[in-house]
Amino acid sequence: MNTAAFIRTLDGSGRGLSTAESALAYAAHGIPVFPCAAGGKRPAVAGGFHAASTNHVLVRRWWTAIPSANIGIPTGAASGLVVVDVDVHGFVDGYETLDRARAEGLVDGWTAAVRTPSDGLHLYYPAASGSEERSWQCARAGIDFRGDGGYIIVPPSSRVIDGRPRRYEVLRLASESVHGFNAERLRDFLDPPRRADQARGGD
């Protein structure tokens, strides 16, 4: 995946393009897409993210059938992108955890920062070449990782929050294209592995 092309497409998505036009733009730059429910995150085609495609004819057919469909892209090797997903829900504030991870240098190297409709944050990184990075969740920390086996909703999609549509909004784009992000280190920081003696219960 061409990181610069993805950044250009994200940049263009905030300039009045419809989801259909943006979906075609992502596909034209080699980023596979698939339609999700309008105002939601559920896949709207059989096969879900496994059906994602860069085929111009197929993508146009999908969005002609569902013009207001949100845009999903598979994460990991399929798109060349992985995402740190920061959530705020209930008593969990993922931004507090993100600040601690940032202080440890664990979330550097992102190429795009996108605010979600629920006031969360998506940080995009180039996927590591030649190695699998599986998706994982750490709900108590308010941070999930979207890699192989997952997908993400991208701008200019929107979701209905408290009865009104709110868009995924690009906050900042970076020129960084070197993959310096280590998902395993972040996961171990958020959910440290227990020592063997603790796992056995001690003496």
Question: What's the distance, CA 16 to chain centroid?
Answer: 21
pLDDT tens for 7-20 read 888 888 767 789 99
What six digits make up the tokens of 184?
């395993």
- What per-residue confidence (pLDDT) applies to 50? 97
129: left (phi over 0), alpha (psi -120 to 50) or beta: beta
Give pTM, 2 decimals: 0.90
Q: How confident is the model at residue 181 (pLDDT cuts 50, 70, 90)?
A: confident
Q: How confident is the model at residue 196 (pLDDT cuts 50, 70, 90)?
A: very low
Q: How far apart are CA 38 and CA 79, in angstroms?
A: 22
- What per-residue confidence (pLDDT) applies to 12? 81
